[in-house]
Amino acid sequence: MVNFVTVKIGEKYTSTYVNRVFEMCREHVSYPFTFHCYTDNPVGIDPQIEVIPFIDHGFSTIVHNKLFLFSEQLERKLCSASPRIFFDIDIVIRNNIDDLVTYAYQTQDSLGVINASWKQHSRNELLTNVNLHSINSSCMVWKPFDNTHIWKHFFENYQRMSKVYDKGMDAYLVHEHNVFGKLPETMFCSFINGVPKKYIRLIKTLDQYNSIVQSFPIILFNGPTTNDDILMFIESNYTWSPFDMTDTFSENKELRKQAAERAERILYERTIKMM
């Protein structure tokens, strides 16, 4: 029985977010599963969700608490023989994700995260800024007890780790534990940044673009997005385009050029907001 795990700490998100992901898993997962939430406030959380009470480690940045998922203490709260699949609670699942669960059972990797190829960082930026990277931990897949060293290393070296990786845990995973994006790229795209970069090269028409955008079952609301964005997306029956792509496929070369420049500018502005 696969373990789905979420984290809700602090006041940024309400129990509605947790319950929404739980309902989406019930709708779009055929495998039997348990659903857990590690939280400091269980009020309003669906009683069918197994609550794991928060342990305050005194971290100055809330996002570092997500690393506790890899601790032996939390691992013992989960079904010991089954893989773990973590979701941030600001994601939307719109189609069946059995392929992700199958991957979780079959993979030999200790830890899988998302390859965030839509990030527009240059090689020089990646080399000079430790907080820049090309992964996203809105979804993680891992084997039972395989990553307890990740939590142990951070906790035992907290003062140094929290200063070096003050923007969150993703850079810590990349630079301290050599973690790279290995989850199936057919599963995820970003609401504000669009589809993985490799798909862009394949798109020749607007219809093809729209078809590819609609093919991803999990949408990440990473970066400067709000609950209104999520609700608008759901209420629109999951139809949206990160950019107005109409002119991108125009026969007019000047319109195509302007559309490409506009898309690049929007991506750059969004990336800056996420840093």
Give the Cα separation of 217 and 219 in Å (integer). 7
Chain CA centroid to CA 127, Å: 23
Burial pattern 66-92, b for ≥16 Cβ within 10 A else e, equals bbbbbbeebbebbeeebbbbbbbbbbb
The reply to whether the predicted model has a pTM over 0.85 is yes
At residue 194 the predicted structure's pLDDT band, cuts being 50, 70 and 90, is confident
Give the Cα separation of 107 and 83 in Å (integer). 10
Could you report the per-residue pLDDT of 13-27, keeping only the tens digit for each?
999 999 999 999 999
Give the Cα separation of 48 and 128 in Å (integer). 46
Please state the rounded mean pLDDT for residues 95-117: 96
E strand map for 191-239: 218-220
At residue 270 the predicted structure's pLDDT band, cuts being 50, 70 and 90, is low
Q: Reduce the secondary structure of 59-97 to three states and give it as a string.
A: CCCHHHHHHHHHCHHHHCCCCCCCCEEEECCCEEECCCC
Mean residue pLDDT of the chain comes to 89
More confident residue, 236 or 224: 236
The continuous run of DSSP H or E covering 14 comes out as none
Q: In order of start, what are the domains of the chain with their CATH numbers?
A: 2-177 (3.90.550.10), 192-274 (no CATH)
Residue 11, pLDDT > 70, answer yes
Show the tokens assigned to 254.
Answer: 């000047």
Q: Given this model, what pLDDT does residue 275 score?
A: 52
